[in-house]
Amino acid sequence: MFQSFRPLGNNVWIKRIEEDTRTAGGLYIPDSAKGDAQTGIVMATGTGKVNDKGDTVPLQVKVGDTVFFGKYAGTKAGDTYLVLKEDDILGIVEK
Question: What is the architecture of the domain spanning 11-92?
Answer: Roll (2.30)
SS3 category, 87: helix
pTM of the model as a whole = 0.79
* 26/77: higher pLDDT: 77
Q: Are 9 and 49 in contact (CB under 8 A)?
A: yes
pLDDT tens sequence across 3-39 = 788 999 999 999 998 766 666 777 766 655 555 678 9
